[in-house]
Amino acid sequence: MKMADYTPMWHSLGLDVEAHDGLLRVLGDAYKDIYLSQENRPERMDYFDFVISEIHGLRIQELMEARRDGRRVFGSFCLYVPEELILAADGISVGLCAGADVGTEAAEKVLPRNTCALIKSFFGFKLSALCPYIEACDLVVGETTCDGKTKAYELFNDYKSTFVIEVPHMRTSAGRQLWRSEIERLAAKIEHVSGREITADGLRKGVWIVNEKRRALHRLNALRRSNPVPISGRDALLINQIQFYDDPVRFASKVNALCDELDERVQSGVGVAPADALRVLVSGCPMAAPNWKLPFIIEKNGAVIVGEESCVGERGTRHLVDDDGATVAEILDRVAERYLRTDCAVFTPNPERLDHIAEMVRSYGAVGVVHYALQFCAPYTIEAASVERALGHERIPLLKLETDYSAQDVPQLETRVQAFLEILKR
């Protein structure tokens, strides 16, 4: 199917269309090598391939049409921004561009060079006029999940209207009160931007939609526990990335349709890797699209990724919002409680995450863990020591890697991954 001509729309959004065309060509070639080259992929991955092929086209067109109909678009870089609140005001929640080595030179004119790749990436996308999602949204919602992002949002507000919520770093009673008040403050901001009141009925609908999306991903995760594994880690990561861009109801339907096919594959003993392939868990920083290099390296060297302990993975989806609230205040209580259970490395102490990693190793039948951290990401690079100690007590092998979004360290990463897989084989 030939892609429609979205050039007029991109021009209207103020994109650098020539540079944007070049970016799409590069990413398209990478996608072919990393994803379309896989053998024995599930047929219903074709929907997710289509989403990627139109991720800067048809989906942006949908957002622009929604805005013309009076709906408002809210962009974010983190799952601590509750989609339930946005849906309750008939808004649309989208992730923003932040997973590629793009616009680094422009970003480093504003930011220090030793800033983490994710922050430099979203600045680079904006300053280089390459992200239609940033331009199509009415408000960027930031969060204080690390010092770098906290200060970066202060600067980002100079380029795009940005509203920041404070995430507490300790689960104390004071931290819980702060977080609950921030949820209410965000709800008020969403109401102001959208011009629509958040009601109990609207919140219940939003909670139901997002819970259904998470249930579909729970089903996908459960199927990945099978041996042989019916879907690659690359494809599972891709699905988790797409959840931040696609319409949530449509997305849940397509994930469930894929799971129907995976159910059949499991019953027939069909897998994407041999039954004796090394089963690996990836843990650590979120992998924003199109950050695919590490999963590609791991799986092209014969292992199979069976789970991700990540915000773009099980950490971000495993908890549901309790749906028993009757009033706006009660439902906001449930939303606040659910999001504070997310065991991001920003929290201290954070034993829940250590327990979760070990539990995932057991439930997914993994034989080793690759701990992935972006360079200069203090929460995850520092917490890696606690992860290593906790897994060492349970005799679970761990490989700690620090990287960025460039391709320069691919040979070094591949050498280290190959050596780790040899250890797992022995």
Q: Is residue 68 part of a domain?
A: yes
Return the exposure string of 297-324: e unless at least 16 CB atoms fall within 10 Å of the residue's CB, then b. Answer: bbbeeebbbbbbbbbbbbbbbbbebeee
pTM for the predicted model, two decimal places: 0.97
CA distance 238 to 241: 5
Scan for tokens 């092929």, then name that residue: 53
Collect contacts of 7-11 with beta carbons under 8 A, ≥24 apart: 9/60, 9/61, 9/64, 9/132, 10/56, 10/132
Q: Domains in the chain: how many in total?
A: 1
Closest CA to 259 of 51, 52, 50, 43: 43
State the pLDDT at residue 2: 57
> Is residue 121 situated within a structural domain?
yes
Q: How far is it, in rounded angstroms, from Cα 312 to Cα 290?
A: 12
Q: What is the pLDDT of residue 210?
A: 98
**What single string gives the DSSP state of each residue in 160-219?**
S-EEEEPPPSS-SHHHHHHHHHHHHHHHHHHHHHHT----HHHHHHHHHHHHHHHHHHHH
What's the rounded Cα separation, in Å, for the pair 26 and 292?
A: 13
pLDDT at 1: 45
Which DSSP state fits 33? I
Q: Is residue 110 part of a domain?
A: yes
Q: Using CA atoms, how far apart are residues 357 and 381, in angstroms rounded to an integer?
A: 16
Distance in angstroms (rounded) separating the CA atoms of residues 402 and 387 = 14
Alpha carbon separation from 49 to 5, 148, 365, 418 (Å, rounded): 19, 33, 28, 29
Residue 46 forms part of a structural domain: yes
- Cα(233)–Cα(229) distance, rounded to whole angstroms? 9
- 138: exposed, middle or buried (C-beta count within 10 Å: 0-12, 13-18, 19+)? middle
Note down pLDDT in tens along the chain; length 426 residues.
Answer: 456 899 999 999 999 999 999 999 999 999 999 999 999 999 999 999 999 999 999 999 999 999 999 999 999 999 999 999 999 999 999 999 999 999 999 999 999 999 999 999 999 999 999 999 999 999 999 999 999 999 999 999 999 999 999 999 999 999 999 999 999 999 999 999 999 999 999 999 999 999 999 999 999 999 999 999 999 999 999 999 999 999 999 999 999 999 999 999 999 999 999 999 999 999 999 999 999 999 999 999 999 999 999 999 999 999 999 999 999 999 999 999 999 999 999 999 999 999 999 999 999 999 999 999 999 999 999 999 999 999 999 999 999 999 999 999 999 999 999 999 999 998
Residue 390, domain member (yes or no): no
Residues 6+ apart with CB under 8 A from 418: 301
Residue (of 71, 193, 196) closest to 140 by Cα position: 193
Instruction: Answer whether residue 206 is part of any domain.
Output: no
**Contact present, 311 and 133 (Cβ < 8 Å):** no
Q: Which domain holds residue 189?
A: 7-198
Residue type (1 letter), 8: P
Write the CB contacts of 269 (distance below 8 Å, at least 6 apart in sequence): 228
Counting every residue, how long is the chain? 426
Q: Going by C-beta distance under 8 Å and a sequence separation of 6 or more, which residues neighbour residue 43?
A: 261
CATH of the domain at 77: 3.40.50.11890
Residue 342 lies in a domain: no
Which CA distances in Å does 315 have to 59, 70, 153, 424?
Answer: 26, 33, 24, 25
Name the nearest CA neighbour of 335 among 142, 92, 85, 141. Answer: 85
Pair 101, 117: CB distance under 8 Å: yes
AA identity, residue 111: L
Q: Is residue 51 situated within a structural domain?
A: yes
User: What backbone phi and psi angles, to 5 degrees, belong to 270?
Assistant: -95, 130
Contact 72, 51 (CB under 8 A): no
